[in-house]
Chains A and B, each alone.
Chain A
Amino acid sequence: MTLAFALGAFTLSAVLALGTYFSARHFLVEQRERTATRQAFTDSALVRDNLQTSGAEVDEVLGSLSPPAGAVIYVRRHGEWYSSGLDTSGPELTAEVQPVVADGSVGVGWTDTTDPSAVVVGIPLPAAEAEYYEVSVAEELDQTLRTLGLALAVCAGITTLVGAGVGRVASRRVLTPLEAVTTAAVRVSAGDLTTRLEPTDDPDLAALVGSFNHMVDALNQRIEQDARFAADVSHELRTPVTTLTTSLSLLQHTPDLSPRAEEAVRLMTDELTRFRRALEDLLTLGKLDAGHGEGDRVVIGAGELVDQALRATDHPPDLIRGEPVGGPEPMLRVDRVQVLRALTNLFRNADLHGGGLTGVVVVDGGDVVDVRVEDSGPGVPVADRTRVFERFARAGGQRAGTGSGLGLSIVEQIVRNHGGEVWCTDRPAGGAVFVVRLPSAKASGS
């Protein structure tokens, strides 16, 4: 923007300067010519009169004249050139004007043989059978024009600089608040709904700031309302679901049920289990969304956590491997129960959809710790690899298991709450790998 202003100022000032210069020059040149012509007329009249009287010689006539300063008079008579000065450059200097004079008119021209240029005035003197030429060097004019040109150039330069300066200030005034708005917008879309713009005195910007802040307020409210709705609904469903499961357990322990009744009870139990798990997961997710820290963060070894998760899901503890082999155990600073839940969800996912958990690798990456959960199943198609972490997303063709469809989104939320990432990739040997990356204990300010 500064550049635009500078360019504009430059163009404008250049145009003005050039315009001024050329019109001034034109005027001054014309003036000079008129002066020279007038002078020449006076002088030529004198020469003519002198020549006409008593048949005097041109030399004598010229000698008796005192031409104006900086001017030389040339006379051509009967093919001969005579000069008031000591030079013989008459023909050369007057070359341009000669044809006009030969025709019988007064000719005015310029010659740049001299330095600076000179005005050439040619006046025919038919009465004396001569041609009168006056060549006067435009010394003053030249200087005037030079000074004028310089002054205009300097002015143009200064104007350009001032323009650039103004452009700079203007751009800062306009762009800085726009940058602030952009930054704020980026923060809002990343999830920070506490972002607001500073109030401003500038009336032009006040409207923008006001409406931006208003928009974020409304957005925040909407999101909170949605979260509360989900939480309220789940809350309300808790007790009824508990009553259902409790009553159903009574039926399960009732002897002497008819086979049909037993079958019905079995179906209800399965469905209710799924329902209960979905509800639990929804409640968990709601709590995680709200970002309330569930418990204190503790420093615990990554290997120890994985070991607990393996045992909690009835897997043999020898599924765990560490990289680099034999290195010290990488430490994490986490909410133990939450991360445990994330890991067990991943292991259950591997069992349900990945044909069984085949290995867990804990990779010490210095500032980060990676936990790679490997299975030997069909893997996750590339197109689905972000989708699987969405709520209720199901990879195609999965078993209608007891999963709630929220397991992986819970994993993602937990990992994100800890400042980490989770993603899905594959192994060259086949099967899927879910990688959880968490900041190590030292990186998270232990």
Chain B
Amino acid sequence: MTRVLMVEDDAGLRASLRMVLEDEGYQVVEAADAERGLEVVVEPAGVDLMLVDLMLHGMDGFSFIRRARPQTEAPIVVVSARDGVEDIVAALEAGADDYVTKPFVVDEVKARLKALLRRPSMAGTQPREADVFVLDAQDGPLVFDRGAAALTRGGDEVHLTNTEFRLLSVLVDHAGRVLSRSSLLEHVWERGFFGDERIVDVHVRRLRKKVEADPSSPATLVTVRGLGYRLDVR
């Protein structure tokens, strides 16, 4: 059963969210503050997903994310204030994977969580003949096996989060062509028009760290100034 850690200090919100998540079939572990949350993260049972309110009293959400991120690969969704765009970006850069803003629509949260937990192989794309792509023949080789949901460099597996997998998948589908940030938002996050495009930037940066031989001068995942991003096969 999927274990969801909820770090939320407001008792009322915690209680109502717990019920909603349990209805969805998740096992919910509550933490009223960041310290307790960190304790749960390192428990042997681990966590599969984390929902963290940025507006916590005491140790704030950012510190929690920074400390929890190295300990687990589980996706982190932050809950933030509506006017806290800078907070969102900071949280993403600290290691969060996605965000929802208060006041939120419950269905949106459910969809967000589902998307993050969705196994790549159930991404809904039809199986294709060429589902194995050699992205970089020079350094590696860097091979993306979509069917097996695996990225390997020179035989060693590179772990991708679900979001990173979907992002790479979309870029590969449009290899050699520029994708704008808003279209990436649409395809990967299914967020559509009102999402903040910086979430794309943060994930591209993360993907580069895993995919590029030298992340500071990307050769595979290139930025096209003013237009978007492009995947070049070498």
User: Residues of A with Cβ closer than 8 Å to B?
Assistant: 231, 235, 238-243, 245-247, 249-250, 253, 276, 279-280, 283-284, 286-287, 292, 294-295, 298-299, 308-309, 311-312, 336-337, 340-341
Cβ of A245: which chain B residues have Cβ within 8 Å of it? 103-106
Does B16 interact with chain A (Cβ within 8 Å)? Answer: yes
Indicate whether B10 reaches chain A with its CB closer than 8 angstroms: yes
User: Is there contact, CB below 8 Å, between A308 and B196?
Assistant: no
- A-B contact list, 5 entries, CB within 8 Å: A235-B81, A239-B12, A292-B83, A336-B197, A337-B195
| Chain B residues, Cβ within 8 Å of A298 | 226
Chain B residues closer than 8 Å to A341, beta-carbon distance: 194
- Let me know if B19 is at the binding interface, CB within 8 A: yes
B103 and A250 contact, CB distance less than 8 A: no
Contacts of A242 in B (CB 8 A): 13, 102-104
Q: Which residue of A lies closest to B10 (CB)?
A: A239
Q: Which residues of B from 22 to 46 have beta carbons under 8 Å from A?
A: 23
B127 to chain A, nearest CB (A): 30
B107 at the interface (CB under 8 A from A): yes
Instruction: Tell me, rounded to whole Å, the shortest Cβ–Cβ distance linking B1 to chain A.
Output: 20
Q: How far is the CA of A336 from the CA of B194 in the complex (A)?
A: 9
* B15 contacts across to A, CB distance below 8 A: 243
With a CB–CB cut-off of 8 A, which chain A residues contact B219? none
Residues of chain B within 8 A (CB-CB) of A311 are 193
Does B175 reach chain A (CB closer than 8 Å)? no
Which of B85, B193, B194 has its CB near the most chain A CB atoms (within 10 A)?
B193
Are the CB atoms of B106 and A309 closer together than 8 Å? Answer: no
User: What's the minimum C-beta distance from A442 to chain B, rounded to whole angstroms?
Assistant: 15
Separation of A51 and B107 alpha carbons in the complex (Å): 145
Residues of B within 8 A of A243 (CB): 10, 12-13, 15-16
CA distance A337 to B192 in the complex (A): 11
- Ranked nearest first, the 5 interchain pairs of A and B with the lowest CB-CB distance are A246-B16, A249-B106, A287-B83, A243-B12, A247-B16
Q: Known: A283-B82, A311-B193, A341-B194. Contact between A249 and B13, CB under 8 A?
A: no
Bound CA–CA A286/B81 (angstroms)? 13
Q: A238-B82, A242-B102, A245-B103 are in contact. Are A250 and B23 (CB under 8 A)?
A: yes
- Docked pose: A249 CA to B195 CA in angstroms: 23
A-B contact count (CB 8 A): 79
Task: Give the Cβ gap from B32 to chain A, nearest Cβ, in Å.
Answer: 14
B16 with A286: CB separation less than 8 A: no
Q: For B55, what are the chain A residues with a Cβ–Cβ distance below 8 Å?
A: 239
Interface string of B77-118 (1 = CB under 8 A from A): 000011101000000000000000011111100000000000
Judge whether A241 and B103 touch: CB under 8 Å.
yes
Q: Does B182 contact A (CB under 8 A)?
A: yes
A238 touches B102 (CB 8 A): yes
Complex contact A312–B192 (CB within 8 A): yes
User: Is B102 a contact of A284 with CB atoms below 8 Å?
Assistant: no
**Per a CB cutoff under 8 Å, which of A284, A295, A340 touches B82?**
A284
Q: Name the distance in Å between B205's Cβ and chain A's nearest Cβ.
A: 16
> Which secondary structure dominates where chain B touches chain A?
helix
Interface check B20, CB cutoff 8 A: yes
- The answer to the question of B160 belonging to the interface, with a C-beta cut-off of 8 Å to chain A, is no
- Which chain A residue has the least Cβ–Cβ distance from B82? A283
**Is A295 in contact with B196, judged by CB distance below 8 angstroms?**
yes
Q: Which residues of B contact A249 (CB under 8 A)?
A: 20, 106-107
Interface string of B170-196 (1 = CB under 8 A from A): 000000000000100000000011111
Which residue of B is nearest A276, CB measured? Answer: B103
Partner of B83, one of A276, A283, A308, A309: A283
Contacts of B106 in A (CB 8 A): 245-246, 249
Q: Cβ of A286: which chain B residues have Cβ within 8 Å of it? A: 83
Complex interface: chain A residues within 8 A of B102 (CB): 238-239, 241-242
CB nearest neighbor in B for A299: B226
Q: Which of B53-80 contact A (CB under 8 A)?
A: 55
Q: Which residues from chain B contact A231 at a C-beta distance below 8 Å?
A: 83
Indicate if B198 sits at the interface (CB-CB under 8 A). yes
Please give, as numbers and ranges, the residues of chain A lying within 8 Å of B195 by CB-CB distance.
337
CA of A250 to CA of B17, assembled, Å: 9
In the assembly, what is the distance between CA of A253 and CA of B193, in Å? 28
Known A-B contacts A243-B13, A312-B192; A253 and B23 likewise in contact (beta carbons under 8 Å): yes
Picked from A240, A284, A294, A308, the residue with its CB within 8 Å of the CB of B182 is A308
Chain B residue at minimum C-beta to C-beta distance from A305? B193
A341 (CB) vs chain B CBs: closest residue:
B194
Residues in A with CB closer than 8 Å to B13 are 239, 242-243, 246
Chain B residues numbered 195-212 whose CB sits less than 8 Å from any CB in chain A: 195-198
A242 to B100, CA, bound (A): 12
How distant is A224 from chain B, measured CB to nearest CB, in Å?
Answer: 16
- Chain A residues with Cβ below 8 Å from B19 are 247, 250
Could you tell me if B12 and A295 are in contact, using CB atoms closer than 8 angstroms?
Answer: no
Contact A337 B107 (CB under 8 A): no
How far, in angstroms, from A309 to B194 measured CA to CA in the complex? 10
**B193/A308 in contact, CB under 8 A:** yes
Q: When chains A and B are docked, how far (Å) is the Cα of A400 from the Cα of B89? A: 37
Closest partner residue, chain B, to A292 (CB atom)? B83
A314 to B10, CA, bound (A): 36
Chain B residues near A312: list those with CB within 8 A.
Answer: 192-194
Report how far A365 CA is from B15 CA in the complex, Å: 55
Min CB–CB distance A340 → chain B (angstroms): 6
**Contact A337 B196, CB 8 Å, known A242-B102, A245-B106, A246-B20:** yes
Distance A340 CA – B105 CA, assembled complex (angstroms): 20
Distance, CA A249 to CA B81, complexed state (A): 21
Chain B residues with CB below 8 A from A308, complex form:
182, 193
B196 touching A246, Cβ below 8 Å: no
Instruction: Tell me how far the C-beta of A441 lies from the nearest C-beta in chain B, rounded to whole angstroms.
Output: 11
Q: A255 to B194, alpha carbons, bound, how many Å?
A: 33
CB distance from A238 to the nearest CB of B (A): 4
Instruction: Determine whether the beta carbon of B23 is less than 8 Å from that of A295.
Output: no
Cβ of B19 to closest chain A Cβ, rounded Å: 5
Contacting residues, chain A, for B12 (C-beta < 8 A): 239-240, 243
A254 → B minimal CB distance (Å): 9
**Residues of A with C-beta under 8 A to B85:** 294-295
Please report the C-alpha to C-alpha distance between residue A107 and residue B107 in the assembled complex, in whole angstroms: 126
